Structure 1
Amino acid sequence: MVVVTGTVQRTAWQRKELPPVEQVRPGLWSIPVPMAGSPLRYVLVYALALPDGVALVDAGWPTDDAWSALIEGLGACGYALTDVRAVLVTHWHADHHGLAGSVREASGAWIGMHALDAAAVRGRSDPEAFRTNITAWVRARGGGDADVAETVGSLADAQRFRALAAPDRLIDDGDQPVDGIRAVWTPGHTAGHLCFFDEERRLLLAGDHVLPRISPNITLHPGQTDDPLGDFLASLTRTGELPADEVLPAHEYRFTGLRDRVAALHAHHAARLAEVTRLVAAAPGATTWEIASALTWSRPWPQVQGMIRRSAVGETYAHLEHLSRGGAVVRGDAAVDHWRLA
């Protein structure tokens, strides 16, 4: 059974408020850092006490409001920004990695992340090339001019990727980047996503890998040719075997019942794969975009807009690719996706 332990966090979430800084355990705090304009509203940055300072797990969204919240949150934990010695990045997305470079500049802290996500940061360092690749990806999924205008941000929006700092250290599966914390490689949401397991206190700092209420977005990004959904399901199974008494996610609120939550996520994706298969059977030759528009989402498709719509199409594409690798569906050879049953 999944039981919410971050009850104050959940109450704040339901009220659409920012939760307070909380001491989760002696020497371990959660710091909410706001994400203006995002339905996720905030990232939970975790501060771990070190003998000579503090380490952060993630850093937050690269905005002035987030920066102020991070500094104030550290102060509530009894630390100054200059006390930060390390930033352990769960994955490269800007809401987690965005402020890491600023923290390093202010404190001299080192930044650590998985090699595959370090490569992703390098591949997105040119905003103009990034926008060009995203535009081509949208068209290949079946999107038209209006879809490009709706889901591809301006070049100015892409500039934030320049702020994503290259890591100083690479963290691999099983490494202990700081004493008592073991890295667990959990690909899926990104290729190099990491969770961090506190073995003594049996706590899983889960990043976006396991969330209490929603499934993380699993997208087949431009330039990828692998099976991110297959990776996610495999790493999800592995995560469920960890002896974790409590899960500390990067969004929403803390909870117990890791194995039951893992089982629920597996069931969700099995149902989603079945729904995608039914849609392909009902409309042979449909594009990825058309299939995405017919799927069941948390809100009606016309309300799924902007980057969220692009993420929804990317998740649909990841499910179709997973089905294709399993021999259930076939993608046509045209430049634009067209799917049919195998």
Structure 2
Amino acid sequence: MKSKRRPYAEQRPQDLGGGVWSVPVPIPGNPLGYTLVYALESPRGPVLVDAGWNHPDAWEALSGGLAALGLDVTAVSGVVVTHFHPDHAGLAGQVRDVSGAWIAMHENDAALVRLMTAYAAGEHDRFQADMLRRAGADPAEAGRSMGERPTPPAAPDRELRDGDLVDLPGRKLRAVHTPGHTPGHICLHLEDADRLFTGDHVLPDITPHVGIYPFDRDDVDPLGDFLESLTRVGELGPLAALPAHEWIFPDVAARAAQIRHHHEEKLDRLLALLAERPDPPTIWEVAAMMTWNRPWDALSPVLRSMAAGEAAAHLRTLEARGRIRRLSGVDPVRFQALDS
């Protein structure tokens, strides 16, 4: 099936009706191309859902796109961020600077922003190097796979919890906690219009990255959380989905079910691969065994690191379900299938 995805150059700001607008904001150098920022009408000034990447071209697109729709970025009253990633939260601080708007995000992601702000560059490098070593990457590859320390987004003024209503007078915009892609990811249910702003949680053609960091943590289960969140979103019914990437689509429940099925099949394939292995593999070896959108040898070092994070999340879910175990006292960590 041919993808409906269009390049950023073909995107335009749109009036979606019912006091909702969308503005495509470019992500320089990223294959996703752009973030769809949404504006919602409010008597105090528009409220934005996400803000886009912190880059001059992105700022020009956001402010100019709002102007093309008859909206003024200096009149924005609030920015509610679906999650802390830079293509969503990056420009929130600049919007606040020019408008005095509040910034809101879920309390779990707000805690991560505080942690990132306090984390020195040297600590970040040591953290990554040790994480990659414990996953089984050889030292040379570990050095190449270390990504740059991300710049923390602006700290929020308001923290949301599941079920909270966003400050949007005259409308009902409710936060739905959907952890997985990040611990504090939220979807936003516009209850008076049967619309769901899905952020990265439910996208029409691709699935979001769900990783675990550090790779060998055994006290969290982000993929398990993600699958539960998909079930919860599905229970909201066939709402119109307004995602942060790609395109708007109907029936978020149907797409959520497809994504759950995709991951369950991936878990089944991984369990079969582990059962066939004569020796328990490392996380890095598991990542190399799995199927990605390109062959393992064609992945860049940084993409291999992301793949390892996703492999680790799938391993952790299988472990939480009692289908595999991690060997004790082994460094790097290794996993073994259990008899069913």
- Normalised to the residue count of structure 2, the TM-score between the two structures is 0.92
Counterpart Cα distance in 2 of 1:222 and 1:123? 15
Distance 1:169 1:244, change over 3 A: farther
Report how far residue 105 of structure 1 moved.
Answer: 1.2
Between the two structures, name the one with larger relative contact order (CA 8 Å, sep ≥ 6): 1
1:181 corresponds to = 173
- Aligned-pair RMSD on alpha carbons? 1.8
Select which of 304, 316, 337 maps to 2:333: 337
Runs of 4+ aligned structure 1 residues displaced above 4 Å come to: none
Distance 1:302 1:117, change over 3 A: same
Question: Secondary structure at 2:308's aligned position in 1?
Answer: helix
Counterpart Cα distance in 1 of 2:192 and 2:266? 37
Question: Secondary structure at 1:25's aligned position in 2?
Answer: coil
1:199 lines up with 2:195 in the alignment: no
Q: Which moved more, 1:240-249 or 1:319-328?
A: 240-249
Report if the CA contact (8 A) 2:173-2:190 is conserved: yes
2:311 corresponds to = 316
Report if the CA contact (8 A) 2:230-2:256 is conserved: yes
Report if the CA contact (8 A) 1:111-1:168 is conserved: yes
Report if the CA contact (8 A) 1:18-1:34 is conserved: no
1:169 lines up with 2:158 in the alignment: yes
1:133-172 matches, within 5 Å, as 133-153=127-147, 157-158=148-149, 160-162=150-152, 164-172=153-161
Unmatched 5+ stretches in structure 1: 5-9
Question: Secondary structure at 2:16's aligned position in 1?
Answer: strand
Deviation per CA, 1:97-141, whole angstroms, max 9, x where unpaired?
A: 111111111111111011100111112122332232122212211
Deviation per CA, 1:216-258, whole angstroms, max 9, x where unpaired?
A: 1111122853000111111110100113431000010011122
- State the AA in 1 paired with 2:285: E
2:84 corresponds to = 92
Distance 1:170 1:257, change over 3 A: same
Q: Which moved more, 1:25-34 or 1:202-211?
A: 25-34
- State the AA in 2 paired with 1:166: A
1:304 lines up with 2:299 in the alignment: yes
Report how far residue 36 of structure 1 moved.
Answer: 1.3
Question: Secondary structure at 2:242's aligned position in 1?
Answer: strand
Q: Number of residues paired by the alignment?
A: 328
Report how far residue 15 of structure 1 moved.
Answer: 4.8
Give the fraction of aligned pairs with identical amino acids, expressed as a percent. 42
- State the AA in 2 paired with 1:146: A
Counterpart Cα distance in 2 of 1:130 and 1:303? 26
Report if the CA contact (8 A) 1:85-1:109 is conserved: yes
Report if the CA contact (8 A) 1:185-1:194 is conserved: yes
Counterpart Cα distance in 1 of 2:7 and 2:66? 24
Deviation per CA, 1:20-43, whole angstroms, max 9, x where unpaired?
A: 111112321111111112121111
- Normalised to the residue count of structure 1, the TM-score between the two structures is 0.91
Select which of 241, 248, 251 maps to 2:245: 251
Unmatched 5+ stretches in structure 2: none
2:74 corresponds to = 82
Question: Secondary structure at 1:111's aligned position in 2?
Answer: strand
Counterpart Cα distance in 2 of 1:145 and 1:16? 38
Report how far residue 263 of structure 1 moved.
Answer: 1.4
Report how far residue 259 of structure 1 moved.
Answer: 2.0
Counterpart Cα distance in 1 of 2:138 and 2:145? 11
1:274 lines up with 2:272 in the alignment: no
